[in-house]
């Protein structure tokens, strides 16, 4: 960007860049895209052993982030997760994928998920979301 660029020129270039970034983001979080994502996560982190048949959003899960039905490979995600960062969504998806293989929590279950490097950060993010839901968004200190 030339130093002499006007404010309008700079804003126009910035808007163009943002639009291009947006276009490249795997933005879709529709049910079909969730299923593609879940299958990819299974391949990347679970050696493909988890085979989901469908993934969908649910507005009826207020106290859980996700759930699954092993018998038909169905995963449901709370729509409270619609706007969380990808690594958090992936963490919850992986957890449910692991349940398709091992229904209950325990050492075997934990071993399945050991390969996901951002688990602890995602867990912290979810606790923060819960906290904000329970106590409201903390107000910013005065400037
Ligand atoms: Zn679980």
The whole-angstrom separation of Cα 109 and Cα 101 is 8
* Residue 103, CA distances (Å) to 16, 17, 98, 125, 129 in order: 47, 45, 8, 24, 25
Over residues 45-62, the mean pLDDT reads: 93
pTM: 0.76
The domain defined by 28-133 folds into: Zincin-like (3.30.2010)
User: Is the pLDDT score of 53 beyond 70?
Assistant: yes
pLDDT of residue 47: 94
What average pLDDT does the segment 31-55 reach?
Answer: 95
Look up residue 65 and give its two tokens. 């982030």
Q: How far is the CA of 74 from the centre of ligand 1 (A)?
A: 14
| Distance between CA atoms of residues 77 and 56, nearest Å | 6
Burial 31-67 (b: 16+ CB within 10 A, else e): eeebbebbbebbeebbeeebebeebebeeebeeebbe
> In this predicted model, what pLDDT tens digit does every residue of 69-119 receive, in sequence order?
999 999 999 999 999 999 999 999 999 999 999 999 999 999 999 889 999
CA distance 134 to 65: 15
> Domain-by-domain residue ranges, the chain?
28-133
CA of 112 to the centre of ligand 1 (A): 12
Return the CA Rg of the chain. Answer: 19
Q: How far, in Å, from the CA of 8 to the mean position of ligand 1?
A: 51
The CA 142 to ligand 1 mean position distance, Å, reads 40
Mean pLDDT computed over every residue of the chain: 88
Average pLDDT over residues 47-65: 93
């Amino acid at each position: 960007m030339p130093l002499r660029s006007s404010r309008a020129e700079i804003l126009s270039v910035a808007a163009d860049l943002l639009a291009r970034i947006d276009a490249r983001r795997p933005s879709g979080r529709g049910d079909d895209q969730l299923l593609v994502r879940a299958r990819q996560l299974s391949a990347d982190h679970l050696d493909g052993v988890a085979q989901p048949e469908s993934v969908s959003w649910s507005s009826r899960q207020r106290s859980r982030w996700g759930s699954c039905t092993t018998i038909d490979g169905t995963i449901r995600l709370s729509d409270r997760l619609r706007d969380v960062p990808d690594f958090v969504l992936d963490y919850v998806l992986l957890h449910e994928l692991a349940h398709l293989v091992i229904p209950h929590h325990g050492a075997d279950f934990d071993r399945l998920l050991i390969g996901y490097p951002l688990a602890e950060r995602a867990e912290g993010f979810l606790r923060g979301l819960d906290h904000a839901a329970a106590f409201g968004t903390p107000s910013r200190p005065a400037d």
